[in-house]
Amino acid sequence: MTYTLDELRKLLINNTELKQNILSQKYYHPNTKDVLKRYFFGEEYSFNINFSTLGNRQYNINDDVIVFLHMQKTGGTHINARFRRSLDLPFKCRNIRDVSSCVNTQGHIWFHTSAFTWWVYFYITQIRDPLSRYLSEYRHQTERSHWEEATLGCKKREKPYWNDIRPCFLTENWKGVSFSTFMNCPFNLATNRMTRMLADLVPTGCYQNFQNEFKKIMRARKWVESAKQNILNMEHFRLMERSDDSDFLFNKAFNIKFKAKDTTPTSSSRNLRITEKQFLKMIQLTELDFHIYLYALDIFNYRLETTSHTN
């Protein structure tokens, strides 16, 4: 029997066997089961965030640069389009095709560039529900295009990590690949993608010994802590599921408004149907991203509450 993701969430309410199966699986991070209890069943779990250390630098559009970290299938293409067309800027952009080509009143690029290293960088990103993001990546990679050719940037390395990371499928595209086959590829970078892209991978050897079980346990802790620290340091990040609140906080962080409310398109991956067994496997493959998502959610809600109360 197959279900959509929404149907599986509802099924969990009264299905004690499925709940037990989720909590009895193998995970690499020691706190994952407690995190999943909160995510799925609303149980208490605190990250003990020190909100006084949140990034709170003052942004100046004439002197600083916003760098958007686009993680696959988190709505980044859509928000990039809004950055290009819908920001109410204090100057006119001549090139609306690329916000990076839009210069401020000083003639400087103010958004997303690595060419001018003497300016202050304000990193931002958009985060998405881990399960929805993973399903969306599967849909994208098996129906449109994949990112096998992408360079894995981590330290200066002359050769790619072929001994550690290999292509999942030696084909021009991944069309026709089943969801189970997609998940069973040990080199699939969809696994814990948000955590991996937000963390500093250098202290754990980048992608070396990627399949080593001991290394996986070590990386789980360190990647999560590194990603959490980088989120904490960001003056702003967005949640894909809460676009209006994200726009509000973007305005408060950078004093830049969007001209119109967002109309985020509905993801076609919502209609994908999977089995309970596939659902359980997907939870294992996104276990670290649950940590990051809930951690970011706590910061997001804190900022929203405190900003709303003081303005």
pLDDT digits (tens, 9 = 90+) for 73-92: 887 777 777 877 778 888 77
Q: State yes or no: pLDDT of 106 exceeds 50.
A: yes
Q: For residue 310, name the pLDDT band (cuts at 50, 70, 90).
A: low
Tokens for 90, please give them.
């204090």
pLDDT value of position 125: 94
Distance, in Å, from the CA atom of 132 to the CA atom of 253, rounded to the nearest integer, reads: 27
Q: State yes or no: pLDDT of 71 exceeds 70.
A: yes
**Phi/psi of residue 65, each to 5°?**
-125, 130
Nearest to 173 by CA among 195, 149, 145: 145
pLDDT value of position 74: 80
Distance, in Å, from the CA atom of 68 to the CA atom of 48, rounded to the nearest integer, reads: 27
Range of the domain at 112: 5-139+150-310
List b or e across 286-304, with b for residues whose CB sees 16 or more CB atoms inside 10 angstroms. Answer: bbbbbbbbbbbbebbeebb
- Its pTM stands at 0.90
- Residue 10 domain-assigned (yes or no): yes
- Residue 145 domain-assigned (yes or no): no
pLDDT value of position 115: 36
- Residue 103 domain-assigned (yes or no): yes
Q: What is the CATH number of the domain that holds 185?
A: 3.40.50
What DSSP state is assigned to residue 59?
P
121 within 8 A of 235, measured Cβ to Cβ: no
Among 51-55, 59-63, 75-79, name the one with the lowest average pLDDT.
Answer: 75-79
- Residue 144 domain-assigned (yes or no): no
Total domains, the chain: 1
- Residue 220 domain-assigned (yes or no): yes
- Residue 297 domain-assigned (yes or no): yes
Higher pLDDT, 261 or 296: 296
- Residue 90 domain-assigned (yes or no): yes
- Residue 96 domain-assigned (yes or no): yes
